[in-house]
Chain A
Amino acid sequence: MFTESSSPAKDPDSPESETRPEFNPSSTDSTATTNPNTVQTAIDSDSLEPTTFESASSDLPPERFNSLDELTHDLGSLHELSTRGSWQAILEKISQARALFLLTKPHEHLTYLTYQVMALVKLRRSDEAAHELNSLHDFDGTHYRYESFPEIYPNRKGSMVPFSLRWLYALIPTKLGNRQEGLDRLYVLLDFVRDRIRDKESQNLDDSVELWKKRERFVMSCLLGFHLGHKEFGVSLDLIKGLLNRDPLDPVLISKLGSVQMQFGDIEGAKATFDRVEKMLNEGKSNGLLNETQFKNLVGRNKALVYVVAKDYVSAVRVYDECIERDNSDAIAVNNKALCLMYLRDLSDAIKVMESALERVPTAALNESLVVNLCSMYELAYVNHTDVKRTLNNWIARVAPDDYDSSSTRV
């Protein structure tokens, strides 16, 4: 029954959802279908067991999958390792899977390659990542299309290239020091994404359109980061305009506009922008991506920045304290509060605030910039700062993920 329903007779151009009478999308677990060759797995909201039926899952066409692992070999485990920052383990898993020929389908190879390139870039081994990318065929050729393998993907059309791989390909030149090539590739990628949006819209593939629009905003945001990092404010403002056109009610985006204005020195403009965000909070307007605490903290941090610029560090500390009380994992509020304490001549308390956050909420607080700030404070406070920095370094080594850049302690 299962295999029959996966390849109903139909017009190959129509979307497949119209011909799936058995599948009930409202069911909370996927007991709707059974396959004589596999034992179904019930999905509940907090289990992610790597499936134990690897050999059987290779018979399942990808449009029926009961877990990530059934989509691609061991995908659930790869995903979990990535969220823990265990990139070395991921590299080992990948070479093992290849050595044991555990990957049988073309899309699995691509997914694994993407994880591999991602891991190498995360571990700051971008030259090796570039080398791996050289093994790729042209992204848009037939090698990477589902319809080129009808026996494996009987009802699927389109590109099996994970979008992240395209993005990594565009990012690599910059990581290797060739910023111009990197920028060019990102702009080419942006054009590509915009073509895909038009494409999917003309085919009324709504879910896809949403995803590709997200990708468009993603690439635009990447470009914005690149230009901002080089203080290219004219282009940056144009990109922000473009993003705001697509998301006019995003308080985080509007706050970032305010931050950009502050960065190049337009204080009055920044204040006006932050006031708008506060107004949105008071009127309950937003695009729904923030919960109430996050929204209040956003407005709080904006307000505190205005105080910092006015050198009213006491008020800034007060506002940051409110943020930390609402959410003690707000690492930005913690870091900025510590800086304000320092500007108030209270270096000891500044250091205490940083250290306590690292202890209490390490996964939220441990980031390279916060550590750089803490080390600057150590260098000022202690004549023999090497010892205290080494202690910090040792603690970080126990707790940090693989991709943490330990040069941040400057030991």
Chain B
Amino acid sequence: MSATQTQTQGPHSLAFRVMRLCKPSFHVDPPLRIDPFDLLAGEDFSDDPSSASLFRRHVSSADSLDSDLSYRNRFLLNHPTDPIGLSGLLLLPQSFGAIYLGETFCSYISVNNSSTSEVRDVTIKAEIQTERQRILLLDTSKSPVESIRTAGRYDFIVEHDVKELGAHTLVCSALYNDADGERKYLPQFFKFVVANPLSVRTKVRVVKETTFLEACIENHTKANLFMDQVDFEPAKQWTAVRLQNEDCHSTEDPPASDLSALIPKSPVIIRSGGGIHNYLYKLNPSADVFGPTKFQGSNILGKFQITWRTNLGEPGRLQTQQILGAPVSRKEINMRVVEVPAVIHLNRPFLAFLNLTNQTDRQLGPFEVSLSQDESQMEKPVGINGLQALMLPRIEAFGSNDFQLNLIASKLGVQKIAGITALDTREKKTYELVPEMEIFVESD
């Protein structure tokens, strides 16, 4: 039941026996137990009340017999919930099982003296070896075990938080004096592999000022994972709020009943072998961080701290790497449509309010705002009405300029306002309007 072990040359007086000691589990075994009323007579026998009461008497007089050799509890129901098969009996782990990053590896190790004579001065060591390191779990060299008698044992329990993936070896070794006084060395190796329990896939979407972070957690383990805690820790420059559906409380339970207090809201349990659960967060720039610095520095959004639990609360903990947001715009000039009228008609001019922001630390401009001249001759859905070019004065460092444009839409339906450019006449650089404003064009 232990992991694969390899032994070196014998014959040794001692031997290691190892058992993984994850949490025990509840034994669920629906039993073959019945209510005697369901067996001793037909199901409608008790329709007749006097038959029913006679029947009850005879059954209870039969049941009052209590012999020592009665296995009535293997056949007759004691309590109405017995058929569930959840008696509360705990079962020891029956196999090594799978082990995942973030869990704690715990093992019972027993050193047995299976020889016919005592061994003395036993130094026992247990360590975990991975590709990258050796971690000492136990070392009795400072106070060796004086002796282990024949058929005797020395037991210990070791624990190790698993922080690496891949092959691990639990190395148990004993240095001892055998019956002949010879100093012997017994190493035993127990190998196991640590796999990745989860994958976290993220998507970042930016809508105007708000950044949305969607995380999909997929369970690669063989057990269902109860998500105890999934916390997104934003980087300094962000604040994060989790968005979720309000749990719809069942309308079946009367509001005053105890039941709704007793039965929890649906817990988040991700099914084994590929189940997923999605989390959505809304990120806003922190209150104390203003415009300019937002666009400097990194675009790190933050990371996830995840704690899950399996059987009997066995915990696992992981954190993700830093999650990166959309590439930060390093634009020097940002031109955006700020406001449009509520109703826009086809082929009828409307007034749009725009903003041109200088995101650099030096004066820029003056600017000429016009429709960009495409190679393609296709008519743009939204064009400038009237004068095709607008002159804007210079803008100070980190300053901005609000202006209006008279626009006209030539196509129906949802259209993007795009294709408008600002030309810095001094530096001869062209900046595109951020094409995020959508309008709905109605017919006349």
Contacts and interface: CB of A to CB of B under 8 A. Distances in A.
B343 interface: no
A319 interface: no
B420 to A, nearest CB: 53
B88 interface: yes
Contact of B48 (A15, A343, A377, A403): A15
A335 B264 CA distance: 30
Interface of B: 1, 15, 17, 19, 21, 23-30, 32, 34-55, 57-59, 61-62, 64-65, 67-77, 79-92, 94, 108, 110, 112, 114, 153, 155-157, 223-226, 228, 253, 257-259, 262-264, 266-267, 269, 272, 308-314
A179 interface: no
A85 B75 contact: yes
A410 B101 CA distance: 32
A88 interface: no
A169 interface: no
Contact of A363 (B68, B89, B224, B313): B68
12 contacts: A43-B61, A111-B39, A159-B43, A160-B42, A160-B45, A162-B42, A241-B259, A250-B80, A254-B262, A263-B25, A264-B224, A372-B91
A11 B226 CA distance: 61
Contacts of A308: 23-24, 90, 312
B40 A343 contact: no
Interface stretch (A95-103, A114-122, A389-397): A114-122
Contact of B44 (A158, A342, A372): A158
A20 B53 CA distance: 13
Contact of B94 (A45, A206, A335, A372): A372
B61 to A, nearest CB: 6
Interface residues of B, dominant DSSP:
mixed
Nearest to B151: A382
Contacts, number: 338
Given A233-B224, A289-B79, A211 B25 contact: no
B70 A363 contact: yes
Interface string A355-375: 000000001100101101100
Contacts of B58: 43, 65, 67-68, 71
A380 B19 contact: yes
A214 B313 CA distance: 33
Contacts of A256: 81, 84, 86
Contacts of B24: 308, 339
B44 A25 contact: no
A380 B17 contact: yes
A88 to B, nearest CB: 14
Nearest to B15: A383
Contact of B267 (A64, A266, A383): A266
Given A156-B48, A162-B39, A363 B110 contact: no
Contact of B264 (A226, A261, A265): A261
A158 B42 CA distance: 9
Contact of A225 (B55, B86, B225): B86
Interface string A227-238: 011010110010
B36 A79 contact: yes
A183 interface: no
Nearest to A28: B57
A157 B51 CA distance: 12
A241 B252 CA distance: 10
Given A63-B51, A248-B257, 15 more contacts: A43-B61, A62-B51, A83-B71, A121-B32, A160-B43, A207-B53, A211-B37, A218-B80, A224-B83, A262-B26, A265-B313, A335-B89, A348-B153, A376-B92, A381-B17
A403 B81 CA distance: 22
A-B pairs with the 6 shortest C-beta distances? Answer: A158-B44, A265-B309, A265-B226, A160-B42, A225-B30, A221-B83
Interface residues of A, dominant DSSP:
helix
Given A68-B62, A383-B15, A401-B71, A264 B226 contact: yes
A316 to B, nearest CB: 10
B70 A83 contact: yes
A245 B259 contact: yes
Contacts of A63: 48, 50-51, 54
B69 A376 contact: no
A345 to B, nearest CB: 5
B90 A163 contact: no
A16 B45 CA distance: 12
A74 to B, nearest CB: 12
Contact of A228 (B36, B86, B110, B308): B86
Contact of B29 (A229, A250, A276): A229
A111 B40 contact: yes
A252 interface: yes
Given A45-B61, A71-B40, A233-B269, A259 B26 contact: yes
Contacts of A162: 38-43
A110 interface: yes
Nearest to A222: B83
Given A118-B39, A164-B38, A225 B259 contact: no
Nearest to A298: B88
B38 A163 contact: yes
A228 B313 contact: no
Nearest to A200: B47
A225 B83 contact: yes
B82 to A, nearest CB: 7
Given A111-B40, A347-B153, A264 B48 contact: no
A308 B313 CA distance: 10
Given A218-B35, A259-B88, A373-B92, A158 B28 contact: no
A215 interface: yes
B51 A229 contact: no
A65 B43 CA distance: 17
Contacts of B1: 376, 379
B43 A161 contact: yes
A167 interface: yes
Contacts of B259: 241, 244-245, 248
B44 A159 contact: yes
B336 to A, nearest CB: 47
Contacts of B114: 383-384
Contacts of A155: 48
B61 A48 contact: yes
Contacts of A75: 40
A267 interface: yes
A265 B76 contact: no
A196 to B, nearest CB: 8
A377 B19 CA distance: 9
A373 B39 CA distance: 33
Contacts of A401: 71, 74
B262 A257 contact: yes
Contacts of B308: 265
A198 B336 CA distance: 69
B155 A347 contact: yes
A273 B263 CA distance: 9
A305 B88 contact: yes
B200 to A, nearest CB: 19
B70 to A, nearest CB: 5
A332 B90 CA distance: 8
Contacts of A376: 1, 19, 92, 94
Contact of A345 (B87, B108, B309): B108
